[in-house]
Amino acid sequence: MTIFGVSSQFFGSKSHYLPPRIRTFIRDYSVPLCVVFFTGFIHFGGYLDDIRFTTLPITRSFHPTDTINRKPDWFIRFWEDIKVKDVFLAIPFAILLTALFYYDHNISSLICQSSNFPLKKPSSFHYDFFLLGVTTGVAGLIGIPAPNGLIPQAPLHTLSLCIYEHDYETGVNKITGVVEQRLSNTFQGLLTLVMMTRPFLVVLGLIPQAILAGLFWIMAITTLDDTDVVRRLRFLFLDKEWKLKLSKIVIRNHEQRSLAKANCDEVNNSFEVANDTSKLQGGSIADTQFNSSDDFPRITENEGESLSTQIIPADYPIEFYLVRPKYFIIYLILELLAFAGEYSITCTKGAIGFPGVLMLILLLVPIVFPRIFPKDQLKLLDSEAADELIMRSLKLHSFNFD
């Protein structure tokens, strides 16, 4: 299950075999089809008949699955058999949980609305966080898992709503738009209620738990490959000669595009103050200037590096090529140390305190990083996750009611 699921995901998103539409179909529907196939695969007979697969436990329609340790009316009677000292004992853990949810939700929202996605509608972080608080309270009262953002799986929904166009010059699929709507979220919630009816519960009861374990492995492996730390590790271990050659191409192209943007801005400013009589027939001043400019830097075929003027590195951000290698490695080491701290505490009896380690890291980063990295290098290493419109909506504004 895991091998087929991960392979199909990488085939659909990383390979160049078959037309883009077919690869997109494989990427979007291979995982649910794997669940369906392997659920039926256990009934193929042979040696599989000798194995007793543990399936999902089911119950009556709209009733909790656990009917032994709780009553079937959903409501958690939290006031029974509780002492005053238990309330105060729970306060530190509640603070940690609140901090974790605050961090998880905002980071999840940011990566769902990162600069990689050409979003047009503004975000509503504070409204969403308010709804998260309400739903978390309700979840605690009825005894279901508390809803919160998952990192790094959060942008899967945004990715599924992206509109892609295949660029045959660079060989990658470029995101040209996002279908911004809440309809799919609403249908997802309604389908959850539908799956709580008895006929669908019977169907869910046929799925082996091993299949769901494979599903989580697929989610983990495919999303882990796109995380910042893994991408930096892959970039670090690229062949040095290949990376050097690619760096020259990318940096030259970056300088070329920067100069083109500066020239365009200069021409546009001149165009705005010019008289209407200065307009050229069938074109613009900018077109004339750029077409006749001999000083415009280009990548020539004589250098063996002829590329489109719009090339963008497909696998790695351009900042990876621009930052100095020394600071790149230091930044990566600090990321790995933070990961080691988080993972280590989860392997101990104090695993419940892992949000505390996370909060400590968040407090140390703005203090330590400016002392280690120059400002220009830190901007390349840790640039803004989203555009200005999205970041502005994160700020709290004061209102004057006078």
Task: Give the tens place of pLDDT for each residue, 77-108.
Answer: 888 788 888 889 888 888 888 888 887 777 77
Return the ∠ at Cα 219 (arms to 119 and 47), rounded to 5°: 150
Q: Percent helix, strand, coil in the chain (nearest 5)?
A: 60, 5, 35
Host domain of residue 283: 243-310
Q: Is residue 168 located within the same domain as residue 263?
A: no
Model confidence at 270, pLDDT cuts 50, 70, 90, reads low
Cβ–Cβ < 8 Å for 214, 8:
no
Looking at per-residue pLDDT, the higher value among 275 and 344 belongs to 344
Give mean pLDDT, residues 394-401: 51
pLDDT in tens, 343-354: 898 888 888 888
Task: Count CA atoms closer than 13 A to 110's CA, side-chain side.
Answer: 16
Cβ–Cβ < 8 Å for 32, 241:
no
Q: What is the mean pLDDT of the chain?
A: 77
Q: Report the percentage of the chain scoring pLDDT > 70.
A: 77
Q: Is residue 258 located within the same domain as residue 280?
A: yes
Question: Last residue of a domain, which of 276, 310, 344?
Answer: 310
Residue 21 lies in a domain: no
Q: Is residue 74 located within the same domain as residue 131?
A: yes
User: What's the CA gap between 48 and 42, in Å, rounded?
Assistant: 6
Residue 43 lies in a domain: no
CB within 8 Å of 359: residues ≥ 6 apart: 99, 103
Total-model pTM: 0.70
Looking at per-residue pLDDT, the higher value among 276 and 121 belongs to 121
Max avg pLDDT among 128-142, 236-250, 322-336: 322-336
Number of C-beta neighbours around residue 14 at 10 A: 13
Closest to 338 (Cα-Cα) out of 363, 358, 366, 354: 358
**pLDDT at 399 (0 to 100):** 44
Q: Indicate whether 283 pLDDT > 70.
A: no
